[in-house]
Structure 1
């Protein structure tokens, strides 16, 4: 094509893509996890919280925490809040029953 000028080379953006902060692959200590759980339960106004120490009794877990609330709705909200807090702390595979 005569008389036409070539297009200029496009300028690539110099910005680096933002990436989320890496999640730690190490699990926190069981006692630290228990402290996080109990703090979240207290903030959510859970009632009748009982911690069962299973250290040395089973290979599955170190502690079991049982709690209750005033209504089904509150118990569901407590469970959701606790799962979110544990996920933010990098703890996966949390089981909630009841």
Structure 2
């Protein structure tokens, strides 16, 4: 027979979540790449190729590109990286026409 679990009454939020918070392990996410508060195990800040300012500029430019593509009805795309002379070009390439129809 199933074991009965007794639920304690009149607990605070902290008391209810105490065991969850104690055992919680956050998974790394995309935002953690640009988080400067967490030390990177592979590279220290001195060895990083991109400065914080340059990383922020690239992030803003990619966000603007994503918004423009969304307004044009392109939702699924890939970023193609090419090098021409002294320039690095990031080009958005739609993945498929069927999936990128404008949502109205």
Q: Which has the higher contact order (CA 8 A, sep 6+)?
A: 1
TM-score, normalised on structure 2?
0.28
Richer in helix (by share)? 2
